Structure 1
Amino acid sequence: MNGDPIDALITGLGLPADYRDTVEKYWQPLATAIARRATHTSPLVVGINGAQGSGKSTLCAFLEVLLKKRGLRTVTLSIDDLYLKREERQALANEIHPLFATRGVPGTHAPGLGISIIESICAGRTFALPRFDKATDDRMDEAQPVSGPVDVLLFEGWCVGCTPQADEELLEPVNDLERNEDPEGVWRAVANLWLRGDYKKLFDQIDMLVMLKVDGFDAVIANRRKQEEKLRASRPDAPGVMDDAALARFCQHYERLTLHMLEDLPHRADMVFEIGPNQTPKGPAKGL
């Protein structure tokens, strides 16, 4: 049995053996950069931004191992696990706009929960990491208890670090979903309002922002399809599993802000990794 935790993780995640080259070339230097900024006196919050299927969860898994080797206790929080429960999103859909029933855009998370978790980490208190089950499209009742201290919090998610758009950018729909189901722009305007408020407070907790930058929205759809195929294979009867038509509509909920972040975040992130079609980095990273 191989005792190397990196090799064990590569095997456990079903990655090719040559993924170690990616770890050595990209994730090791990133772990070193994080370790240089981390202290044992105050937790470092590292935001990991990336579109669906860009490899955020995989990166965080390797960073946890690499930072542990450097004597840093690391915990990962996904913004997906902050999604409101399905009944809560349905209440938003009834009160504000029907599109808020679908998880994704700002307004469908509980940013206050994320802030409370970060506050607990900074205070060295025991806290609980929530878990969202995409197969059932609902937050799980059970949470994972974690006791302090924590040196590094990896806060990953598709819209982590996202800034609001200018009001005039909201006027024209970007796809058929917005054109046909949000013709007055209410849904996108309210989501943008949340970005200016509670989400800004949450993202202001980030000390260091890393972006996994895909080539464009076509790559997002392709990567998200791979995720759904894995989910369908493992839990074919789960109610939250989508067919191709449902997936295409689902992705349109993310398109506006994904395009916005692809333009905006590379100028603001501390480090940017260009992600190729094989969901691994390509070329030199900005900031390393």
Structure 2
Amino acid sequence: MSSVPHRFSARRFPPALAAQALDEALATGQPVPVLAISGLQGSGKSTLAAQVVELARTRGLRAAALSIDDVYLTRAQRQRLADRIHPLLATRGPPGTHDLPLALATLDAACSGQAFALPRFDKLADERVPEAQWERIDSLDLLVFEGWFLGTPAETDDALREPLNALERDADPEGTWRRWCNQALADHYPALWRHFDRLWFLQPPGFSVVPHWRWQQEQGLQQAAPGRTGMNRAQVERFVQFYERVSRQALRCLPDIADRIVVLDAQRRVS
């Protein structure tokens, strides 16, 4: 595993970094390589994914990006989980709140050269975009798949005993929710990870930067859709606690798993 010594502005990564990601993906020799970009909330995954896709297209390649956030379960599906297993499962984010059959079918179709549609999720509405509005893809030369915990393994049972934050302490004192999510991560997500031909990890200095980064992301979402309601700062602070446990596991494990590590500072500059 190796770090990438570049600098980038607050909004875009340096072109050389995107070129390196593209070249490494294409060098795998797969007919339709899947470049996975993993990184905690607000780290710039979607920005880098978009740059790689843009660069690929300038080279005459057919490329598209998909986020694991685009394959969340619908609100109704999550509510059924909340009613049956634990109330916290109504909130999107942790392992177990994704439609993995949809994700796997999308990746399988992309890698086999079939026509397919790219799923999309509306975060402000907290609901999947209707399928009729998904982009239709005839075939691809490259798929960039990005997500906040791609490649992360499950924790041990012992690690789940004590609550990690106020959310777990107050809303999951018996550990039912965190154990269920961890079991989903252990049982169902490795099948998704096996589709990756190359895994990059955007590594922040620690979890402490995530609430601020996610708040910046939320502000961007709201600015892009004036008049629509999103989360306020306090709601974002609580929301990131749903992600904290698996995020910390990613920080511990992904440096030893990823094919390449991009080390970020608190301002998201690559160092």
**TM-score normalised by the chain length of structure 2:** 0.91
Q: Does 1:115 align with 2:115?
A: no
- Tell me the equivalent position of 2:57: 68
Does 1:231 pair with 2:225?
Answer: no
Give 3-state SS (helix, strand or coil) of 1:124's partner.
coil
Greater relative contact order structure (CA < 8 Å, 6+ sep):
2
Structure 1's consecutive aligned runs of 4 or more residues displaced over 6 angstroms after TM superposition are none
> Cα deviations across residues 81-136 of structure 1 (Å, max 9, x unaligned)?
00111111111111110000111001111011111011111221110111101111
Q: CA RMSD in A?
A: 1.9
The one-character-per-residue Cα deviations of 1:133-182 (angstroms, maximum 9, x if unpaired) are 1111111102111111x121111000111111111111111101001110
- The alpha-carbon distance between structure 1 residues 81 and 249, as it changes in their structure 2 partners (threshold 3 A), is same
Task: Evaluate the alpha carbon distance shift between residue 189 and residue 175 of structure 1 in structure 2; reply closer, same or farther with a 3 A threshold.
Answer: same
Q: Which of the residues 138, 145, 150 maps onto 2:136?
A: 145
Give me the whole-angstrom Cα distance separating, in 2, the residues matched to 1:111 and 1:191: 14
Q: Which runs of 5+ in 2 are unaligned?
A: 1-7
Q: Is the 8 A contact 2:33 2:197 kept in 1?
A: yes
Q: Secondary structure at the match of 2:110?
A: helix
C-alpha contact (below 8 Å) 1:210/1:272 kept by paired residues: yes
Residue identity opposite 1:184 in structure 2: E
Give the letter for the 1:219 counterpart: V
The answer to whether the Cα contact below 8 Å between 2:81 and 2:90 also exists between their aligned partners in 1 is yes
Q: State which of 161, 168, 178 in structure 2 corresponds to 1:178.
A: 168
Equivalent in 188, 191, 194 of residue 204 of structure 1 = 194
1:92 is aligned to 81
Q: For 1:37, which of 19, 22, 28 is the aligned residue?
A: 28
Q: Counterparts in 2 of 1:1-40, with a 5 A limit?
A: 15=11, 22-24=14-16, 26-39=17-30
Deviates more, 1:155-164 or 1:264-273: 155-164
Structure 1 residue aligned with 2:208: 218
Counterpart for residue 40 of structure 2: 51
Q: How do 1:247-258 residues align onto structure 2 when only pairs under 5 Å count?
A: 247-258=236-247
**SS of 2:183's equivalent?**
helix
CA distance in 1, matches of 2:253, 2:185: 14
Cross-structure match for 1:274: 263
Matching residue within 229, 233, 236 for 1:244: 233
| Percent identical residues | 39
Q: Match for residue 125 of structure 1?
A: 114
1:181/1:198 CA distance change after superposition, 3 Å: same
TM-score normalised to structure 1 length:
0.86
